[in-house]
């Protein structure tokens, strides 16, 4: 027992946490620091809490004040790797409105980018497979001279790209048409939009 503990009572003297203090001054400093920590503490909101309480909690948890989840360096790397600038900005806006911390948002963007690349690779594999099948179908139906096969491959590739463009265009207007019986049907479907 140190001399400053004299007179505080046996129950307090038996507390081991008090034995780390050399004098009353160090105990007082520790207490003041503890009070500061309590002042900075943000309570966890419950189901009855209002938006103000939740906003305070999200900011304390790491919600970026500027709504930016990516550093300029990471953003540049993602853009070089094929990410879309507008899509990244949209993700950041959604994450901010959802109250995600900077770490959560950054990790989610990374995972979404990886998923997008994997999906693109799968789609590219499907395009190659479709192109091959279409070339084989044309070769079976028609007699194609050997010298025309490279041009046939290019033509098939062009037709696949046009089909994808028409499909994605119809997705923008809310109608999914994966095939059309005629040129007129394709253009008639897009004029309504």
pLDDT tens for 114-164 read 887 777 777 777 767 776 776 677 677 777 666 666 676 677 667 767 776
User: Is residue 153 one of the residues assigned to a domain?
Assistant: yes
Helices (H) and strands (E) in the chain, counts: 8, 0
Report the alpha-carbon distance of residue 37 to residue 33 in Å, rounded.
Answer: 6
Instruction: Using pLDDT thresholds of 50, 70 and 90, give the confidence band for residue 4.
Output: confident
Report the alpha-carbon distance of residue 33 to residue 39 in Å, rounded.
Answer: 10
> At residue 176, does pLDDT exceed 60?
no
User: Is residue 90 one of the residues assigned to a domain?
Assistant: yes
User: Is residue 132 one of the residues assigned to a domain?
Assistant: no
Let me know whether 32 and 66 are in one domain.
no
User: Is residue 190 one of the residues assigned to a domain?
Assistant: yes
More confident residue, 47 or 169: 47
* Mean pLDDT of all residues in 78-107: 86
Let me know whether 148 and 112 are in one domain.
no
User: Is residue 92 one of the residues assigned to a domain?
Assistant: yes
Specify the DSSP class assigned to residue 9: -
* 0.75 exceeded by pTM: no
Let me know whether 26 and 52 are in one domain.
no
Let me know whether 24 and 56 are in one domain.
no
* Mean pLDDT of all residues in 31-51: 84
Say how far residue 93 (Cα) sits from the centre of its chain: 11
Domain-ending residue, one of 81, 96, 125: 125
What separation in angstroms does the CA of 76 have from each of 49, 58, 149? 39, 27, 41
User: Is residue 133 one of the residues assigned to a domain?
Assistant: no
Let me know whether 28 and 80 are in one domain.
no
* Mean pLDDT of all residues in 83-92: 86
Let me know whether 108 and 51 are in one domain.
yes
Mean pLDDT of the chain: 76
Structure tokens at 188: 């008639």
Q: Are 18 and 12 in contact (CB under 8 A)?
A: yes
Report the alpha-carbon distance of residue 92 to residue 99 in Å, rounded.
Answer: 11
pLDDT at 20: 85
Let me know whether 34 and 56 are in one domain.
no
More confident residue, 59 or 175: 59
For the segment 48-75, what is each residue's pLDDT rounded down to a tens digit? Answer: 989 888 888 888 888 888 888 888 888 8
* Mean pLDDT of all residues in 16-40: 85
Let me know whether 70 and 96 are in one domain.
yes
Domain-ending residue, one of 125, 159, 176: 125
Containing domain of residue 106, as a range? 44-125
Report the alpha-carbon distance of residue 131 to residue 147 in Å, rounded.
Answer: 18
- Across 1-10, 36-45, 56-65, 150-159, least confident range: 150-159
Let me know whether 52 and 114 are in one domain.
yes
Domain tally for the chain?
3
Say how far residue 193 (Cα) sits from the centre of its chain: 31
> At residue 17, does pLDDT exceed 80?
yes
User: Is residue 137 one of the residues assigned to a domain?
Assistant: no
* Mean pLDDT of all residues in 81-93: 85
* Mean pLDDT of all residues in 61-90: 85
User: Is residue 174 one of the residues assigned to a domain?
Assistant: yes
């Amino acid at each position: 027992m140190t001399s400053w503990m004299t007179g505080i009572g046996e129950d307090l003297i038996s507390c081991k946490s008090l034995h780390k203090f050399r004098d009353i001054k160090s105990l007082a400093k520790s207490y003041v620091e503890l009070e500061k920590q309590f002042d900075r503490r943000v309570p966890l909101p419950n189901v009855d809490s209002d938006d103000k309480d939740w906003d305070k909690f999200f900011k304390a948890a790491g919600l970026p004040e500027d709504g930016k989840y990516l550093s300029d360096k990471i953003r540049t790397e993602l853009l070089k790797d094929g990410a879309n600038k507008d899509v990244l900005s949209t993700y950041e806006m959604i994450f901010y409105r959802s109250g995600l911390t900077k770490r959560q948002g950054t990790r989610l963007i990374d995972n979404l980018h990886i998923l997008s690349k994997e999906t693109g690779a799968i789609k590219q594999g499907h395009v190659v497979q479709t192109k091959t099948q279409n070339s084989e179908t044309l070769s079976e139906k028609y007699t194609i001279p050997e010298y025309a096969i490279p041009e046939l491959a290019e033509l098939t590739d062009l037709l696949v790209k046009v089909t994808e463009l028409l499909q994605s265009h119809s997705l923008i207007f809310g109608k999914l048409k994966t095939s059309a019986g005629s040129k007129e049907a394709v253009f008639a479907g897009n004029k309504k939009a």
